[in-house]
Amino acid sequence: RTSLSLSGFSRVPTVTVRDCLEVHSTPPLTRVRIIEVEDDYDEESSKTTHAPQSPGVTTSRVIPRPCDYDPCVVQTTPCDKISAETGCLCPGLTGPEERPGAPELREVKLDGSGEVFVHWCAPRSNVTRYEVTLKDGSKQLVFGEYLRNGAVPGLKVGEMVCVAARNQAGLSEKSCARYEPPQPDQAAMSAGIIAGSVGFLLLLSVLAVVLWRRRTCRKGRMGDTEGLGNPSYTNDGAL
């Protein structure tokens, strides 16, 4: 070690070269040991467990839809048959032990064939047939349970016609309407009037043109005749 001392000064602590090296040297690296700890459970145990389901049982709920059924349209296929095939729901109907409700008579009109037809809508009841009668009961027609219209031969303008539903419990109340004469189509009448007016104006225009041309031609021929009959008229204009 090297000692330094100066007279008149206090003693300076002895500093060695080794001490300097130890002070300025980089401290040794500390190694950290990483210990991997294994989970004491696996992924399968961490998942939520579900109760086992019985085979063939589905959790989704199927909501039945209404059947394509219109009580005012002729039924080619009964609603109960459609329901059995597709699983749809038919409208609720009262049973055959109750009198049916009255059908709704929609219209009485003249068909294109010249026959008068009645059109009705079915009630929400069990029906075996429909009966169409005149108001005074002088005529009765029977139609099947799936029909919604029928012809009434001999029905006159102003007469009242009725329709009722029947099942094993009895006859329903009647729904009636009066046969009114067919009203002319206002749109067709307006179109006919407009077309007739336009045609009449065109005819007048053609006649006016024809008369004007005939009058013009007649004046031209009269002028030619007068020119030929004047002896003082020459080509050079001399008298």
Low-confidence ranges of the chain (pLDDT < 50): 1-10, 20-21, 23, 39, 41, 44-48, 237-239
Which residue matches tokens 């294109």? 112
Q: Residue 26: its pLDDT value, please?
A: 53
Task: Supply the pLDDT for residue 65.
Answer: 87
pLDDT at 29: 56
Determine the pLDDT at residue 164. 96
The Cα–Cα gap between 68 and 80 comes to 11
Tokens linked to 85: 């095939």
pLDDT of residue 136: 76
Cβ proximity of 69 and 82 under 8 Å? yes
- Look up tokens 């109760």; give the residue: 51
Is the distance from CB of 120 to CB of 70 less than 8 angstroms? no
What pLDDT score was predicted for residue 161? 95
* Residue whose entry in the numeric block shows the structure tokens 């225009």: 205
> What pLDDT shows up at residue 125?
92
Alpha-carbon span 105 to 122, nearest angstrom: 9
Other beta carbons less than 10 A from residue 36's beta carbon = 4
Does the pTM of the predicted model rise above 0.75? no
Q: How far is CA 2 from the centre of its chain?
A: 110
Torsion of the alpha carbons at 155, 161, 163 and 169, rounded to the nearest 10:
-110
pLDDT at residue 3 in the model: 47
Confidence (pLDDT) at 9: 47
Position 236 scores a pLDDT of 53
For the chain, which domains are there? 104-178 (2.60.40.10)
